[in-house]
Amino acid sequence: MNARDVSATHDRLSSALAALPALANAIGEDAAQREARRELPFDGFALFRQSALGVLRLPAEWGGLGGSLVDLFDVIATLAAADSNLAHALRIHYDMIETLRLSPRTPFNEIQLERALAGAIFGGASTERGTSRPGENTVVLRRDGDDYRVTGRKYYSTGTAFADYARINVEDEHGGTVAAIIPVARDGVRILDDWDGMGQRMTASGSLLLEDVRVFADEVVARDGGTLVGRHCGALRQLHLVATGAGIVRNVVADARRYVLAHGRPALHSPASTARDDHFVQQIVGELSAHSHAIDALVRDNARALDRSADAIAAGDLRRAIVVQRRD
């Protein structure tokens, strides 16, 4: 890549990040009211698709933005401050993108990269309800000529209602764990908004029904979460949740400030004439702001550690990757 290419790449990344606040404001408009009406954030995802942020982590020479994990988790937190449901629902997508970035360029992965660069969003479901252990699969992929068929019910399909493709973990007929990536619009695929757990009311985290769904042979790949890439992406998925929480805390601070400026009154025994000048109010808002700043700093520190892990894996320096993952 020559100097002109490097400059153009930096400009694309800078432009996408500079546009983030306006994007977040548009996504967050009336978010609380929409959640109260239980309206899933389809409109927010339509706005997100217009940005290039879905491929933030793919290298520029592949057609992505070449952003760091520090960049990514700031994007997640900023989006979460506007609409935490949307930010959370992108978790599987960014896990998929990171896996592709750090994995060999196999024919299977090339197909997924082409889809991502064309603007596709990935969702999926790994788990099931009623199994003896979390992560256990009972849904089986069965041979049907040169291809496969699958019938069953997956759960915790966060983000899949907003996605183009679903990554599902299933067993093959020999008891091995495989992943299949299929279009969500394929015949026999049904997404149910039946989540009834704590939180995540609008992340589309309910059931994914598979009713005699055809799965082509080139849509299936072996899955092993015990690799360095798997461990790295496991940490990434957890930090995604923390960054979402960081965004929620940012919004708490913003709500507190708005309330103080628009509705608040000074305390009964305060000498201040307005809430904003009240030392008691300033203390509370200051404490909230300090907590938010601390959480943001922790997310950035952990994102830097994951950046070191990703750089080591991408460079093929497995020894350094192991040291980074164990130390950080």
Least confident of 59-68, 209-218, 245-254, 259-268: 259-268
Average of per-residue pLDDT across 257-270 = 89
Q: Number of helices (H) and strands (E), helices first, in the chain?
A: 11, 8
CA distance 111 to 103: 13
- Locus of tokens 């432009």: 15
CB-based contact 281:267 (threshold 8 Å): yes
Average of per-residue pLDDT across 154-181 = 93
Higher model confidence: residue 282 or residue 5?
Answer: 282
pLDDT by residue (tens digit) across 179-222?
999 999 999 999 998 888 777 788 989 999 999 999 999 999 98
The overall pTM is greater than 0.85: yes
How many CA atoms lie within 13 Å of 235's alpha carbon, on the beta-carbon side?
21
Sheet containing 147-154: which strands, arranged edge to edge? 141-144, 147-154, 208-215, 189-191
